[in-house]
Amino acid sequence: MILNSPNVKSSCVFHPYPETRDNRRRHVLHLHIALVAISQSQVAALLSAMSTIPYTPILRRLQGYLNLTTTELKLIHAHTITHGLSRFAYVSSRILALYAQSQLRDLRYAETLFTHMSNPNVFDCNSLIMGFSKNSQCRKAFLVLKRMLNIGVRPNSCTFVALVKACDSLALLEQVHGQIMKLGSLSDVYVVSSILSVYSKYGAIRVARRVFDESSSRNVVCWTSLITGYCSNGLVNEARELFDVIPERNDVSYSAMVSGYVRNGFYNEGIEIFRELKNCESVKPNGSLLASVLNACAAVGAFVEGKWIHSYIDDHCFEYELELGTALIDFYAKCGWMEPAEKIFDSMPSKDVTTWSAMIMGLAINGKNKMALEMFADMEKVGPEPNAVTFIGVLIACNHKSLLNEAWWLFGHMSKKYGITPSIEHYGCMVDILARGGRIKEALKFINSMPMEPDGAIWGSLLNGCMMHGHVELGQRVGKYLIEFEPHHSGRYVLLANMYAGMGRWEFVSKTRKLMKDRGVSVICAWSFIEIDQNIHKFVVDDKSCSYSGEISTVLSLLGKELVDFSIAKNVLLFEIVSPTTLSSFSILSSTIFTEIALFSGAGGSISNEFCPIRVERDDNDIGEKVFQMDEKVLVGDSRGKPCSSSSSYGEY
């Protein structure tokens, strides 16, 4: 029998209500809610059975069922009307809540029901306000509040939380805040927390701080809301000061501080907070916090720390939910180790467009262009609809192997099939593919046909292509335009100077550098990270702060001439070229220094992303292979962060 369905039985709890007509109808209504847990084919039989059941167990509260289908909701509503149940306030209130707050969210019909209610209570008003709030219809939410006050229904904390979240401007928030103060509801910590969050959202962080200071009711939720607000407005130091004096910390407050650091680029500080949490027995990290730390580890190449987090996730039986699973995929992708990323992707119970895009991007940046394109094809068949970020990933995959025909097809496919208007990033990918492939004139024509103004990165890609393929005259024109287009961008001057150096036109190299000096433009130092024994070392060109700086300088002076000759033969710009003769004028990049640090440390380091504005066109893996030959017994990491031995093939990436 349908009532013996395990889905229905598991939802039932016995409640000893007296056998009255009203309670029987209430029980019947609860049984209607079992429609959520059973298949639609059983609905008719269940409704038929209701009229013959003298007692029915109490199922979960009606407002808990927010995933009804349209058919189920209409069946429930129709049955309550035909059996006279709709005249009970208990019944009509829950029907209204379903129409207003379920995934269907038929707010127009919910509003009609609300209008025909003779005596709506605070629950009814809150249901409709929450529905309008979630649907970004703030004006209608305030009209409901106005009716509440007119008919004498006093708003409660749930009302104000929903209204605060519905505010789409600072002016509206100030009005709601004033109403809350009049009614004396600022004693509720959740109302205060909501106010803090929305003031911070609109940049009024000083007002938020004043509300916080004046509030008599402050718990960890309020403290965390203000910490998040500070971080959202870039005030990380103020957030940290607040975090340091918070009376009680939980996983959410730790997560707010870590994610705040990560969003603002303070990756090492975020990792340090997490290490502090690891020593705290009373607080255990949640999935959101672990995802934030993984993002930090990916940014600085903290491979060991990231691996520890992955082990912690598995040991504590965390599910690979969307945020956490995607963060793990991104971490391994940026460390150049796609095998575990692929396993995580395959084991995730659900995947959204961000997950698929992260996987495609990871394969693309690690040179696995064929797999990236195959995964995109799978996504179109069985996955969610791709978005703009997805197409950036597949275009990068085409760029790695100069798959021009495939790139053109994808560029048109995104707008024809999915209606995605190409952004400047998509145009930039196409220009880079054309320029690297030697299609310089075609790239220039494509730039001139763009519907938006090309940015410096696009012109830089064209200049790079001119330098690679010997288009000197066009390269000079583009380079001169570029340094006027972005006069304070040091990388543009360096790229132009390097092109002149490759032509042997040293007088123009000197003129370009003099122009930089006259304009007060300084070269942004190339910098890298290396992780040794869970300590992250950051260093730059000509870095003297490392404890091994003396030994490294000695070795580099011995290797310098050989590396210079090697880089010229390989057409790799390992140095910022100043003159053709003076070795002391060469400034060795940090990408060489990190190898020496690994050698002297005697440990295998996990190497992070490198940021070398001087190095152009080719990856420095050939240089790494050359340095490797100096000591084949030492284990170091490659430039992607994946541990590898001297026999590893740098060309794979």
Burial 227-259 (b: 16+ CB within 10 A, else e): bbbbbbbebbebbbebbeebeebbbbbbbbbbb
Question: pLDDT digit string (tens) for 416-455?
Answer: 999 999 999 999 999 999 999 999 999 999 999 999 999 9
pLDDT at 632 over 80: no
Q: How far is 428 from 435, CA to CA, in rounded Å?
A: 10
Q: Is the pLDDT of residue 330 over 60?
A: yes
User: Residue type for 101, please?
Assistant: Q
CA-nearest of 306, 420, 312 to 357 is: 420
pLDDT grade for 556, boundaries at 50, 70 and 90: low
Mean pLDDT of the region 595-611: 46
Which pLDDT band holds residue 540 (cuts at 50, 70, 90)?
A: low
Q: Which has the higher per-residue pLDDT, 642 or 338?
A: 338
Tens digit of each residue's pLDDT (9 = 90 or more) over 3-52: 344 443 343 333 333 444 455 445 444 544 444 443 444 444 444 444 43
Q: Above pLDDT 70, what percent of the chain?
A: 67
Among 117-121, 139-143, 550-554, 565-569, the least confident range: 565-569
The domain ranges of the chain are 1-117, 267-350, 426-518, 527-652
Describe the crossing of helices 89-101 and 122-134 by its angle, rounded to 10 degrees: 10
User: Mean pLDDT lowest for which of 162-171, 510-519, 626-635?
Assistant: 626-635
Q: How confident is the model at residue 534 (pLDDT cuts 50, 70, 90)?
A: low
Amino acid identity of 170? L
Q: Which of 483-487, 495-499, 505-509, 617-621 ranks highest by mean pLDDT?
A: 483-487
The yes-or-no verdict on residue 352 having pLDDT over 80 is yes
Report the pLDDT averaged over residues 295-306. Answer: 90
Q: What is the pLDDT of residue 219?
A: 87
The token duo for 142 is 């305030």
- Quote the CA–CA distance of 549 and 565 in Å, as a whole number: 24
Mean pLDDT of the chain: 77
SS3 state at 636: strand
Give the per-residue pLDDT at 598: 52
d(CA 51, CA 613): 77
pLDDT in tens, 51-101: 433 323 322 344 444 455 667 677 777 777 776 766 667 677 777 877 787
Region 269-281: mean pLDDT is 92
- Stronger pLDDT, 400 or 323, i.e. the higher one: 323
Give this prediction's pTM.
0.72
* DSSP three-state, residue 637: strand
User: d(Cα 407, Cα 398) in Å, to the nearest integer?
Assistant: 6
State residue 531's pLDDT score: 59
Least confident of 175-184, 326-335, 362-371, 390-399: 175-184
Is the pLDDT at 337 greater than 50? The verdict is yes
Residues 361 and 371: their CA atoms lie apart, in Å, by 11
Is residue 119 very low, low, confident or very high in pLDDT (cuts 50, 70, 90)? Answer: confident
Q: Give pLDDT, residue 307.
A: 94
426-518, CATH topology level: 1.25.40
| Cα(285)–Cα(277) distance, integer angstroms | 8
Tell me what the mean pLDDT of segment 280-293 comes to.
92
Q: What is the DSSP string of 553-616?
A: HHHHHHHHHHHHHHHHHHT---B----SS-GGG--B-HHHHHHHHHHHHTS--EE---B-SS--
Among 52-61, 115-124, 534-543, 585-594, the range scoring the smallest mean pLDDT is: 52-61
pLDDT mean over 598-615: 43
Choose between 637 and 257: higher pLDDT.
257
Higher pLDDT, 23 or 287: 287
Residue 503 has pLDDT above 70, yes or no: yes
- The reported pLDDT for the residue numbered 424 is 96
Asked if residue 402 has pLDDT above 60, the reply is yes
Over range 515-535, report the average pLDDT: 70
The tens digit of pLDDT for each residue in 239-252 reads 999 999 999 899 99
> Is residue 105's pLDDT more than 90?
no
- Contact status, residue 163 vs residue 157, Cβ threshold 8 Å: no
pLDDT at 2: 33
Pairwise CA distance, residues 156 & 191, whole Å: 10
| SS3 assignment for 497-517 | HHHHHHHCCHHHHHHHHHHHH
Distance CA 467, CA 148 (A): 71
Is 590 within 8 Å of 526 (Cβ atoms)? yes
Give me the mean pLDDT over the 331-349 stretch: 94
pLDDT at residue 18, as a whole number:
40
The model's pLDDT over 177-202, given as tens digits with 9 standing for 90+, comes to 988 888 777 888 899 999 999 999 99
Mean pLDDT lowest among 131-145, 186-200, 267-281, 596-610: 596-610
**631 pLDDT more than 70:** no
- Per residue in 361-385, pLDDT (tens digit) is 999 999 999 999 999 999 999 999 9
* pLDDT for position 48: 45
